Structure 1
Amino acid sequence: MLKKLKAFVAGCAMLAAAPAHAEFTGGVIRIGVLNDQSGIYADMAGPGSVEAARIAVEEFGGKVGNVPVEVVFGDHQNKPDVGLNIARQWLDVGGVDMIADLTNSSIALAVASLVKDKNKVAIISSSNSNRLTGDACSPNHVQWTLDNYSLAKSTGTQVVKSGGKTWFFITADYAFGHDMEREAGQIVKAAGGSVVGAVRHPLNTADLSSFLVQAQGSGATVIALANAGSDFTSSVKQAAEFGITQSGKSLAGLAVYLTDVRSLGLQAGQGLYLSEPFYWDLNDNTRAFARKFAERRGGAMPTAYQAGVYSSVLHYLKAVAAVNGDSDGRAIVAKMKELPTEDLAYGKGYVRIDGRKIHPMYLFRVKAPAQSKGPWDLYEKVTETPGDQAFKPLADGGCNLASQN
């Protein structure tokens, strides 16, 4: 009897010392790319983000151990109720473990709250809201590519230094636009400028003439465009029609991306300064990733958002492999913060305790037509801001996780 008891105790000790059993829900790691597939943000994210996620999965080998990785996608149509319903269905019955991309800040904030409740993961590559790593931070999501602070700091400071002291904002009337206007306004004032007024327009507005007229009559020397996608390009084109730039006023694009400049054309966009964390022609590694992407996208080069999806999915899979499971979202995000990041698109970096992915930001200038050597040869690098200076300091963000640092 004593021998049997000793054998039982020894067996229990061995079980306690053994590693935890891997938990992969449904026998598959399923990643859902949720974004605007057909509207104003489709070019900068959309189907290209889905391909970027697939490239990351293939680079990783298509599975973690013997568990396959799948990519699904959904179109939230820039409607928060639609986006939240898709996300809830994915998590409740669709077996999705991580939701990626999330264009539109209102939708990103809602999904971030949802994954916290359900202990899943969201990695937000295409929303700029500072709230995601501020008062809305959580242990279940990461914000990857950029945010309004990093964009506003670079562009706003540079324009004020060049003489653009008085600003008027034309702002998209939703969370992203409000956040950008607030951040840029504070940075402009800190740099010695002033904000004389603002006006807000609905998302996806074709006719911006009345808003531009108000801006033109404000007396401001700089008209700041706190909008994105087709709203931004429409603003620039219509401003040119009104002769605003010819009258001596400057346009400052606060959220300008590769596809915007491509749509505008170099004739209209030449000389424009903009800030991004990624450009396809930045170095040998970014060009290597861009070649993979272009092969799938008819020669189109990746945007910073699409490159962010690739980069974030790759790091997520590394964390899943390290924890040997996909069921505990908090554990996976904690591991993502523990592991250093490195990939072709974004190089080396790390994820801060508040969920902010840290990497350099670059100031670019749009090339003149004569400088360009091809349809996607649009930028020239001006300067680099190191990652530890590019984003809002941890102590200033308002994230309750910061006290754990």
Structure 2
Amino acid sequence: MSQNKRGSSNQRAVSRRSVVQGAAAIGAAAALSPFWFNIARAQTETIKIGFPVPLTGPFGTEAQDQVRAAELAIKEFNDAGGFKGRKAELLVRDDKLNPGEAATRTLELIEKDKVNYVVGSLSAAVQLSINNVTKERGVIFNSISQSDAINEAKDWSKFTFHEAMNPHMTAGAVGRYAFPKFGKRVAFLTADYAYGHEMVRGFQSAGKALGIETVADIRHPIGHSDYSAFLPRIQALKPDVLCLCNFGRDQVNSVKQATDFGLKETTKLVAPVLLYTARQAGGGDAFDGVIGGTSYYWRLEDTVPTAKALNDKFRAAYGGIVPSDYGALGYAGVKTVLTAVQNAGATDTDKVIEAMRALKYDFYKGPQYYRGCDHQSVQSVLIIESKSKDMKNENDVFNIVSVEQPDEANLRSCGELGHKT
């Protein structure tokens, strides 16, 4: 065979190999795109949790603590290896305590940032706005703010979970403790929005069986600073108990002014949610003797191992401070979702929902679980009393005087909420 024939034959062989290899490469690329490419990308993408809270406004102190604790839950998850190598990420947004702003930020988190889940809120009205967006788009929302309405069938969806306590259980527990001890003539100083209204209703529901008399329900706007016009009216009615159904800076101002006015001399001050952050801001003298409810107080570490574990991790991460009540909710709200991902073995929404519904958990305060009909977290309610003496340290601001254990009997029934049973 001549040299030219051999060269021609070799060139044809090389050409055929190139065509086959090229076709294989094209086929491989086609196989990877888009289906296999999307799977490969999903296995490396972070698990994104949107976290809208009011970083600015009268609840900013509490919101910032929510963020700190939520970041701790993210860090724990990532330090443990994440989920099949995928790490989690917290995307914090300021909802400015405004339902419209919250809806906008939540929509951006879902549409632009492509979050897998949403956790957060710190207002009864704001969380309903967030929930409207998430349920329309089929995204899990775990709320960490008190609300009764979010459990009701008209606002609820299968994507809705409520890690926080609700006003019916919170005010109910405080009322069952306070009214038999301090008297049945009850006045309310109420923040004029859903949180305040629902707390009044919770107190009155519990108080009905105890024979309380409502002598006044005086309402004020969120962010009110001067309560001097209300206090003489309240004092003239001579209530045994004044229920301060407000939150954050409003609670600090109303407690301080009621104390300065001398109302404590004749009337017991009671708050459905007695905030750790408010007590720290308002001081021991102003808050001394005030009774209230809470989902969490750091002194639970004396009896509950998971509380001590959370406190120790929080102290190590944030310069020795302890988590607040709403901070701990930020931790639990994120941790339940990420635990459900692990238990489901998937990030698929329906599978995570089923895993959350099946959770029996103790992350920071004792046993909890989500009730089937409304995804309300069934949990204990702590009754606390503020103190100004015999404090072990600057964080030792409350005594736990009673604990109402987890019990669905203390919730509104599924039928009352409009759920089919």
2:285 aligned partner: 267
Q: Using the TM superposition, give the Cα deviation of residue 86 of structure 1 relative to its aligned residue in structure 2, in angstroms.
A: 0.2
2:218 aligned partner: 199
Q: Using the TM superposition, give the Cα deviation of residue 219 of structure 1 relative to its aligned residue in structure 2, in angstroms.
A: 3.8
Q: 8 Å contact 1:165–1:222 — kept in the other structure?
A: yes
Q: 8 Å contact 1:105–1:128 — kept in the other structure?
A: yes
1:339 aligned partner: 359
State which of 321, 330, 336 in structure 2 corresponds to 1:300. Answer: 321
What SS does structure 2 have at the residue aligned with 1:375?
Answer: coil
Provide, for residues 28-59 of structure 1, a one-character-per-residue CA deviation record: whole Å limited to 9, x for no partner: 21012211113222222x22222212211222
Q: Using the TM superposition, give the Cα deviation of residue 396 of structure 1 relative to its aligned residue in structure 2, in angstroms.
A: 5.3
Q: 1:319 to 1:346 in 2, by over 3 A?
A: same
Q: In structure 1, how many angstroms separate the alpha carbons of the residues matched to 2:81 and 2:135? A: 27
1:51 paired with 2:68, answer yes
Q: 8 Å contact 1:189–1:195 — kept in the other structure?
A: no
1:116 paired with 2:101, answer no
Q: 8 Å contact 2:141–2:159 — kept in the other structure?
A: yes
2:207 aligned partner: 188
2:379 aligned partner: 359
Q: In structure 2, how many angstroms separate the alpha carbons of the residues matched to 1:94 and 1:62? A: 23
Q: 8 Å contact 2:168–2:201 — kept in the other structure?
A: no
Q: In structure 2, how many angstroms separate the alpha carbons of the residues matched to 1:84 and 1:255? A: 26
- Structure 2 counterparts to residues 18-37 of structure 1, below 5 A: 24=42, 27-37=45-55
Q: Which stretches in structure 1 are left out of the alignment for 5+ residues?
A: 1-20
Q: Using the TM superposition, give the Cα deviation of residue 25 of structure 1 relative to its aligned residue in structure 2, in angstroms.
A: 9.4
Q: 1:194 to 1:147 in 2, by over 3 A?
A: same
State which of 306, 321, 337 in structure 2 corresponds to 1:285. Answer: 306
Q: 8 Å contact 2:51–2:120 — kept in the other structure?
A: yes
Q: 8 Å contact 2:185–2:214 — kept in the other structure?
A: yes
2:397 aligned partner: 378
Q: In structure 1, how many angstroms separate the alpha carbons of the residues matched to 2:47 and 2:127? A: 21
Q: 8 Å contact 2:175–2:207 — kept in the other structure?
A: yes
1:258 aligned partner: 276
Q: In structure 2, how many angstroms separate the alpha carbons of the residues matched to 1:68 and 1:233? A: 39
State which of 216, 239, 260 in structure 1 corresponds to 2:235. Answer: 216
1:348 aligned partner: 367
1:13 aligned partner: none
What SS does structure 1 have at the residue aligned with 2:58?
Answer: coil
Q: 1:25 to 1:39 in 2, by over 3 A?
A: farther
Q: 8 Å contact 2:100–2:129 — kept in the other structure?
A: no
State which of 95, 119, 137 in structure 2 corresponds to 1:76. Answer: 95
Which one scores higher on RCO, CA 8 angstroms, separation ≥ 6? 1
Q: 8 Å contact 2:256–2:287 — kept in the other structure?
A: no
Q: In structure 2, how many angstroms separate the alpha carbons of the residues matched to 1:32 and 1:115? A: 11
1:88 paired with 2:124, answer no
Q: 1:28 to 1:269 in 2, by over 3 A?
A: same
Q: Using the TM superposition, give the Cα deviation of residue 293 of structure 1 relative to its aligned residue in structure 2, in angstroms.
A: 1.6
Q: Which stretches in structure 2 are left out of the alignment for 5+ residues?
A: 1-38
Q: In structure 1, how many angstroms separate the alpha carbons of the residues matched to 2:41 and 2:337? A: 16
Q: In structure 2, how many angstroms separate the alpha carbons of the residues matched to 1:269 and 1:215? A: 18
Q: In structure 2, how many angstroms separate the alpha carbons of the residues matched to 1:209 and 1:299? A: 38
Q: Using the TM superposition, give the Cα deviation of residue 186 of structure 1 relative to its aligned residue in structure 2, in angstroms.
A: 2.1
Larger Rg: 2
Q: 8 Å contact 2:284–2:388 — kept in the other structure?
A: yes
Q: In structure 2, how many angstroms separate the alpha carbons of the residues matched to 1:310 and 1:333? A: 19
- Structure 2 counterparts to residues 318-329 of structure 1, below 5 A: 318-328=339-349
Q: 8 Å contact 1:23–1:325 — kept in the other structure?
A: no
Q: In structure 2, how many angstroms separate the alpha carbons of the residues matched to 1:159 and 1:213? A: 23
Q: In structure 1, how many angstroms separate the alpha carbons of the residues matched to 2:342 and 2:316? A: 28
TM-score (norm 1): 0.87
Q: In structure 2, how many angstroms separate the alpha carbons of the residues matched to 1:93 and 1:203? A: 32
Q: 8 Å contact 2:44–2:86 — kept in the other structure?
A: no
Q: 8 Å contact 2:52–2:94 — kept in the other structure?
A: yes
Q: Using the TM superposition, give the Cα deviation of residue 234 of structure 1 relative to its aligned residue in structure 2, in angstroms.
A: 0.5
Q: Using the TM superposition, give the Cα deviation of residue 22 of structure 1 relative to its aligned residue in structure 2, in angstroms.
A: 10
Q: Using the TM superposition, give the Cα deviation of residue 150 of structure 1 relative to its aligned residue in structure 2, in angstroms.
A: 1.9
Question: Residue type matched to 2:237 in 1?
Answer: S
Provide, for residues 221-242 of structure 1, a one-character-per-residue CA deviation record: whole Å limited to 9, x for no partner: 3221110111011011111222
Question: Residue type matched to 2:100 in 1?
Answer: D
2:334 aligned partner: 313
Question: Residue type matched to 2:312 in 1?
Answer: R
1:147 paired with 2:166, answer yes
Q: In structure 1, how many angstroms separate the alpha carbons of the residues matched to 2:283 and 2:313? A: 25
Provide, for residues 161-213 of structure 1, a one-character-per-residue CA deviation record: whole Å limited to 9, x for no partner: 01421112111111111111122122222211111221211101111222223
Q: Using the TM superposition, give the Cα deviation of residue 85 of structure 1 relative to its aligned residue in structure 2, in angstroms.
A: 0.4
Q: In structure 2, how many angstroms separate the alpha carbons of the residues matched to 1:139 and 1:22? A: 29
Q: 1:235 to 1:313 in 2, by over 3 A?
A: same
Q: In structure 1, how many angstroms separate the alpha carbons of the residues matched to 2:227 and 2:415? A: 35
What SS does structure 1 have at the residue aligned with 2:96?
Answer: coil
1:388 aligned partner: 407
What SS does structure 2 have at the residue aligned with 1:43?
Answer: helix
Provide, for residues 319-358 of structure 1, a one-character-per-residue CA deviation record: whole Å limited to 9, x for no partner: 1233343342x44223201122232x13332111111111
What SS does structure 2 have at the residue aligned with 1:285?
Answer: helix
Question: Residue type matched to 2:284 in 1?
Answer: L
1:179 paired with 2:198, answer yes
What SS does structure 1 have at the residue aligned with 2:299?
Answer: coil
Q: In structure 2, how many angstroms separate the alpha carbons of the residues matched to 1:153 and 1:75? A: 31
Question: Residue type matched to 1:252 in 2?
Answer: V
Q: In structure 1, how many angstroms separate the alpha carbons of the residues matched to 2:401 and 2:409? A: 15
Provide, for residues 279-320 of structure 1, a one-character-per-residue CA deviation record: whole Å limited to 9, x for no partner: 112124312211222333343321122112212211211212
1:14 aligned partner: none
RMSD: 2.2
